[in-house]
Structures are given as C-alpha cells and as structure tokens.
Structure 1
C-alpha cells in the first residue's frame, strides 16, 4: 500500500509539472575539473551518447578506455541496432554492459582486436588512436592536409590527426607537438567527439598577427587560421637574433612564406638570421635590387639554402586556406626602395589587415584608386614618417587600430602630423617602442589587441644620433631612407654597412680606428683600417664623404 501511495504521488507531480527531471549538469558533480569541456559533455549526455558512472560523477580526467570509446561511437552512429554476430574476443564477457556496443563496433569496422584474440576493453587509448578512430567512424574530410605538428613525420595516424586539426576538432601543444602516444582523458575525447558531430560547437579558428619589437625597423608574423606562418620583414641585422628567439618561444620552427617588402637594411637585415636558423619554405621578394652587403648576403643565403624565390606581382592573390592575401603594391622598377614596398591586404572574414611596408604617399594614391584598401588594422607606413599615411589614405582605409613599428631613432619617427591625423580620425594607436611586441588575435568577426595604447609619449625619438656604437648616426634622410654619400666620420655601426664593401667587421674596425685616432682627414687614411685595401676603398669611394 505504501508503494502504491508513493507511485500515485510521483505520477501526480509528473502530470502537474511539479516534478523536475534532474539535468546532466546536476547529475555530474565533477565537471568543474574541466570547465573547458563542460558544454560538450552536457551536449553528448543530452543526445544520449554518454553517461556517467552512476554515482554523480563523470570522471572527466580519467583516461578513456577502448570499451567506453566504442560505446560512445555506437550510441551516436547506431543507437537502434543489435549485433548480428558474436565477437570472438577471449577477454569479452557476454554479461558486460559494453558487450553489444563492442560487437556492433566490430561489425561496423570501428574497432578491432589484437593478434592474440583479446580486445582489452579496459585499456586506455592514446591521442593518436582516438583521432584515427573518430576519423574512420565519421569519414572526416579536412580542409588542409599540410603537416602542422613537429612530431608526426612518419606516424601511422598522421593523416587522421591532420584531418581533424584542419577543422579545429583537435589541436596540439604550444611547442608545436601533438604527443600522439599520450593517453587521452574522457573530457578530451568528449570534446573531440562533440566537435566532430556538431560543427557549431567548434571554436572559430583564429588568426594572429604579431608586430615584433625590432627597434627601428619592421617585422610582422602572421599565423593563419589553418596553421601556416608568414613572416614579413625582420628588422635590421642586429635584430635577427631577437626575431629568431621570438619565433622559437612561439613554437614556430617553419616559416611557410617569408616576405621581404623591400631591400632596405631595417627590413631585410634580420631575415638573414631567420633563414640561417629556421626552415623557410618560400621567399616573396619585391624584385627591387640594392648594392649593400646586407642585401647581397640576403640573396646569397637564399641561393645557398635553395629556398624558392618569387617576385611579387601587384594584383595577385596569395594562396592561403581561410585567409585571403592580396598584393596591392610592388614596383621593382622604381628608383626609390620605399616605392617598391610590397603592400599586402590580409583578410580573414570580416577583419582586414593592411600591411604597408614603407610605401609612399604616391603608392597610397594608386592603391586607393585601384583597390579596396579599407581595413580595421593598419600597419602605419614607414614607421610613422610623413612620407606615408596621407589624410586621403586614412580616409579610404578608415582604420580602427594603427600599429607604429619603430625604435630609438633620429628621424623623428613617428611624426606628429601622422599620429595626430590618425587620432583625429578615431584610430587607436599602438607603438612597438612604447609597449614592445604587439599581438592581435581575431576569429574573423572580432579582434583583441594585446598591448598598451600609445598616447604620444615615449623616449625613442631624438633630435640626432651620432653615437658610434648605435644603429644610426648621420646620413639618414628625413624619411628614414639611407642617403649617399655616407659620412664615415659620423656614421654608426649599422649605417656603415650600407656602404658597398663594408660588412660588420670593417664597420667595427672603422669605429675602433675613429675612437683611437680621431676623424679621417683624407680618404687614403682609410687604408689604415684593417681589411680595407685599395680595391675595397675604390668600391667605397663613390658612396662616402669625410664631412
């Protein structure tokens, strides 16, 4: 009688809506262990694909076993089927709650046993096995089959892992590895399965643009949504080690495309260290030639490393999955290096980046007439010099964010006319000199800037810089371009290397001689400097002055 009364009460509560079914979130009390997987676990539970241990726990951090994975796949793909045969696994008990799921999984080709006739249902599975199992079960078709992990070169599950990774179903670790032999926990497997079944649950792939602080110069790293890497310029030679270190800390050991916007030393110098230390799959060059040792060393290294070299063509589109990159400028016939700058517009869905190198106002006028230059993020041209970023161009670009890349300099970069123009337009400015490295992350709809806004105050611009040990020292034109002849009595270490025949060793020897003996009074006195002979002096003579 007591049982009947209880049943009547329960039925009354159910019919009147006063009985609340217990949700999965209330049932599983341990999902806070893995908050990043909570939504996916609840989704799979609601779909009847997974359940917990029956004691209020899901065990999200427990390794998932072969029998648990088989049941989850069968619950989703074949929920109403019964096995047509009996699996011949010596260690599978017919009374096991996993028996039917394993039998169906074997019939459908989702799982198999071991050569010794066992199934080993309680054994945990690895990240590689999970990837292969899901790829085969759902016949996943990825968007990009290029390797993205540094520990899969000959791995048997490489193709399956890359299929899933290209769709943002699975990812690796910050050091660029996938760790295929590592056991996978129940939370991780749940996320992978949920992302495979319902693509609306998958995170939007991100694009990252890193504006690296290389002092007075430019260097921009782009990580595309599909995992490719593009490095645009590398600062001066003295910044090369910093760029390599930055890439290493970011877990990048391959540059898919290296772009040299134009041959000035503050753009290509650091690329020499990059090519020496990091694998580069391709170089995109403006085609503009130069006469400096830095430029020749850059070309020699490309040839020695046998790196494919392509000359940029205005109006062409670079092939990168999920990221549209168009060349808006590349004038290799111009007499001005800056006018030859490769300008790229990189677009990821609704977010556009305009990367202008040192392009001039004249370039800007042409680009604005021929192309859509509108962009949310503008890498401000020529370190903020007045020779770029005209009022008209700012109007056409309509930037929300402007990135100023410069360091300690005597050129006056960035010039107040440019910064005021951008502020007046409502553009938020960020400076590498002021805040260091700047990173912008976007999912194609919104973006986040990691850096401090620039208010116009820094200690990077000086009236003049004649310090022999510095990177500048005389003979820089007002727009940052090297002007000839170069004064060998005032030029600094980097500027001296812009003279034909002068490399790092001779540049330092010139400085050491000046410090010991005072300024050069005659050109022939340069023959007293170690490693400067008659031939070298003859090469130097058209490009130098004594005062």
Structure 2
C-alpha cells in the first residue's frame, strides 16, 4: 500500500504579532502545496494566524508557546485558567500566557527544571507527537509504520506509533522519522489538520482478498487505516491455508472476524485462525447449529474471552471511519443456515463491494426492498449456485466484477445459468478455482483486480460455455403481395411495378372494388398480358 513520502508532524501555530483575517488566503503557500489545504482549513477555523501582511511563514519553526496557544484555541476556546501561571519565564500579557496555564492544567504540556516553560524554544517532532497524543487522545488502530529511529526515543515512541497507526504522520523516504528535528509551520499544520479532520489523513488503498480455500468462502479486508476484517475461513481443512496467508501478509491480529453463518465451509477454517491469531472481536449471525465444528468455534471464542456480537440487518458497523460497512442481511431465526447469512456492503468512497455469504434469492428480494445494493464488485452468493444471484438482484447490483469462490465439488457450482447471467449483464467474472486467490485494490475512485478473468474453463475440470447468441428471426416476407390490400409503397415491391402503375392499381381498386382475378389487372393502365406474367410470381388476391 502506498505511503506518503513526506514527514508531516505538527501542532498549531500562532505568532505574537497581529494576525491575518482567518478567512483571508495566505499569499506565501506556493512552495508548500502539500500542506496548503490543511493550512487554509486551520486558518478559516481560527486555529492558526499569519503575520498580518498576508504571509503565513510556512518554513518558520514552531515554538512551545505557539503550540500551547494552538492546542487551547482548538480544544478549549472559551476556557480560562483556574490558577496562577506556574512558570517563571511566562510573563503576564503575552499571547501565550493564558494558553500555557490552561494547557498545563489539562496535563498537555510539562515544564522544565526551576519552574520554566521556555515558550520561545523550538519544538521537535517527537515532542509534537507526544503533545498531540496527550491533547487528542489518539487511539492506536491497526498497524503503524516501522519508523526505526522512533524506537530509540522511548519517551515518545508510543505517541509516534499512535499517530502513525492513524496515518496522521508518516516517515521520510528512507523510512525514518527524524524525531529530534524541528518542525516547520507547514509540517505542523499538515499533521494538525489530519488530527482534527480525518479527511486530511493520508489514505492507503483498500485491499480485499478472496482467499482460495477450495469449496468454501474466506475474504480478508485490509482497510486504508490498517484495520483488518476476516469474513469466514472456508472448511476446517483450509484453516492452515488462511493462517499462512495472514502471516505472509504480515498480519498478526484480526480486528474483526465475521462468521456469516454456521455452515462448515464458512466457519471451519476459523478454528485455526482463532487458535493461532489474535482476534479482537467476532461478529456472528446468531444462527445456532449442532455440528462439532460449530461447537468448537464457540468454545474457542469463550476460552479466549473474545468479544462476541450478533449482527443486525440495517446497522452500520462502527469499525473504521475510512469505510462505510452496512449489514444488509443477518438472521438467527431462519430454518435455513444459508438464509441466516450476514451480507455486508463495504463502501470505500465511490467503490462498493457486495459480500453476500450464501444468501438466498429470498434474502436478495428483501434486500432489494430495503437497501441500495448497487456495487462495482459482487461476491456471488452460495458459490455461484442458482438459489442465489437472481436476475433481479444482479440487475440491481449492476456489478462490473463478479467473484466466484469455490473448489472442486459435486454440487454443480458454479451453475451455468448464473455464470451466463453475469456475463450477459456485462460483468467480468473471476474464479478462485481457476486463478486461486483474487485480490481487488481500491483507491476510492477506481479499482484493480489482480487476476485473469474466468472465461468458462477452470482448474477444477468445469467448463461453462457462454449461451449462444439467439438466431436472428427472419423478417416476415412481404411476398406475395396482395394487390387488393397493399399500399402504395408495398405495390412497388412487385416486379414490373413502379410508381405510376402502383398508383394506377390503387385508382382502379377505388373505382371498381377488389380484383376478382389476376387477369383483371389487364384493365389497369400500363398493365398488359406480358406485365401480368412478370408480376404473377409476386402477387396474390
């Protein structure tokens, strides 16, 4: 996944000079286009000021007094200090005096020996990370960049990792953090903007992996923030394959495991995952089962004290602010396990994934009535069986990509009617049995499928031929032409009849009524016995 190359770590910046109007654009940002949106955002929200002459000073360094002022201006704009200024080197009447006292009250900043604060000292990247972490209580999510040199500054390492895990800060091109370097006003604003407004955070791609687990389902989602979701794990025999795939992807913990329904070809492989990988939460359909596999799955969750929840149709999962994940189906009362399937629509800005488990045609009909099911990528329900992926559902989803997850089987998966339905809808199909694991990467506006399309013949010995194009129907013949009923244009289709004779035939009919015999045509102007013989094969009465 892509990473920004620039190091951007900062807080808020104010100088002890007259300020520029917050709504006014700064005139010296041409050299820092990478931070301009954040600087303007902070300016419009009265968090940062300029020099009063339109300049922002993006390359100037940030001081401790400026940092304290900016934190308080954003978080505590209407608050006053309840105690006297605790620092001997913070005089009364300075722009930062009140802010330093409030920031100290809130335990955001500390002083130095002899009760000094050193308000004019520059702040390092490591110090800024600690102050931001304290002020905004940044939560560690997913994985953070390695940033080797950040490990050498123990008092700041945790804060740096917290911010890195949220893509608020990133490393330099060589992978280091440079914790002891001073921060410029532009760098400072870049990170502050990303801390306050998540839309400014550098976003990696969304990666969705349809893991080849044979006859079953297993889907791994890596969100742009680094969080992970594992949906199902295939059969029990596929568990080690799933664990191995996670290890190869350097994933040592799963934030959310989703068990769509209790069938063995969906939860069996989760046994190995639960045993060998740290799982932070399990989301289940609530549908119970009596198999040993299902009971072992529940026992492991209980033994490891993993938080467990049941999905509810219509809910939006509070999982990641960079993704919108909605539950479109989940039942614990259905008599059919497949109909209990958790169905998720995962949206990454403009790109949508429809992940259907083994949901049935009846489930699809309910979803059509209640939700927007349009999606670019559709994982076909029930491994391509005909009791899923109805014509109405496929038409409503209108997928550009269809994913078939299956292995060698005796069920006839995928069924040719379903395969042809997707082809006829204009979707490109991809098969785990044909290609193996299929990865789809989205940047929020476009996507890429790391596989070759399924053309009808897979590595499981199945062959699905496209339905032949229907033979074009022969147009109804205009021959023979009935000279008693044919119109002006049709009469001209008769051999030997042009515009004049066609009109003469119509005039004769109007005057004398229908022709009783073909020979009566001899009474029409410009038609004689020779013309009648020429016309005879093309006409009738």
TM-score (norm 1): 0.57
Tell me, in whole angstroms, the C-alpha distance in 2 between the residues paired with 1:328 and 1:363: 7
2:191, 2:414 → 1: CA distance? 48
Cα drift, residue 201 of structure 1: 4.7
Q: State which of 99, 112, 129 in structure 2 corresponds to 1:114.
A: 112
CA deviation vs aligned residue, 1:239-277 (integer Å, no higher than 9, x gap)? 323323433454544333322122333211221111112
CA contact (8 A) 2:406 2:413 kept: yes
**Are positions 1:147 and 2:140 aligned together?**
yes
| Alpha carbons 1:331, 1:340 under 8 Å: kept | yes
> When the two structures are aligned, how many residues end up with a matched partner?
403
Q: 1:203-352, aligned counterparts within 5 Å?
A: 203=202, 207-224=206-223, 228-320=227-319, 322=321, 323-330=324-331, 332-334=333-335, 336-347=336-347, 351-352=351-352
Cα distance, 1:424–1:183 mapped onto 2, change above 3 Å: farther
Is the CA contact 1:283–1:307 (under 8 Å) kept in the aligned structure 2? yes
Quick one: distance in 2 between partners of 1:254 and 1:182? 31
CA contact (8 A) 2:327 2:342 kept: no
| Alignment RMSD | 5.3
Partner residue in 1 for 2:519: none
Change (3 A) 1:113 1:367: closer
Change (3 A) 1:171 1:248: farther
**Could you tell me which residue of structure 1 aligns to residue 397 of structure 2?**
397
| 1:330-479 equivalences in 2 (<5 Å) | 330=331, 332-334=333-335, 336-347=336-347, 351-409=351-409, 411-432=411-432, 433-434=434-435, 436-443=437-444, 446-456=445-455, 459-462=458-461
> Does the CA contact (< 8 Å) of 1:329 and 1:363 recur in 2?
no
Distance apart, 1:292 and its partner CA? 4.3
Q: Distance in 2 between matches of 1:414 and 1:456?
A: 13
SS of alignment partner, residue 447 of structure 2: strand
Contact 1:429 1:454 (C-alpha < 8 Å) held by counterparts: yes
- Distance in 2, matches of 1:251 and 1:402, equals 27
Residue equivalent to 1:170: 168
Structure 1: 5+ residue stretches without partners:
1-22, 51-56, 78-84, 93-99, 465-547
Distance 2:328 2:121 in 1: 56
Deviation at 1:354?
2.0
Change beyond 3 A, Cα 1:353–1:180: farther
Which residue in the other structure is 2:5 paired with? Answer: none
The aligned runs of 1:60-75 (5 Å cut-off) are: none
Query: Higher relative contact order at CA 8 Å, sep ≥6: structure 1 or structure 2?
Result: 2
1:70–1:105 Cα contact (<8 Å) kept: no
Contact 2:232 2:258 in 1 (8 A): yes
| 1:453 positional shift | 4.8
Could you tell me the TM-score, scaled by structure 2's length? 0.57
Q: Is the 8 A contact 1:126 1:180 kept in 2?
A: yes
* Change over 3 Å in CA distance of 1:101–1:255 after alignment to 2: same
Whether the 8 Å contact between 2:214 and 2:408 is mirrored in structure 1 is: yes
The 1:188–1:238 alpha-carbon spacing in structure 2 relative to 1, beyond 3 Å, is: farther
CA distance in 2, matches of 1:200, 1:344: 23
> Following the alignment from structure 1 to structure 2, what is the Cα–Cα distance between the partners of residues 387 and 40?
51
Equivalents in 1 of 2:176, 2:278: separation in Å? 19
Task: Give a deviation string over 1:3-62, Cα, whole Å, max 9, x none.
Answer: xxxxxxxxxxxxxxxxxxxx8688x6xx8xxx96698799999x9869xxxxxx969xxx
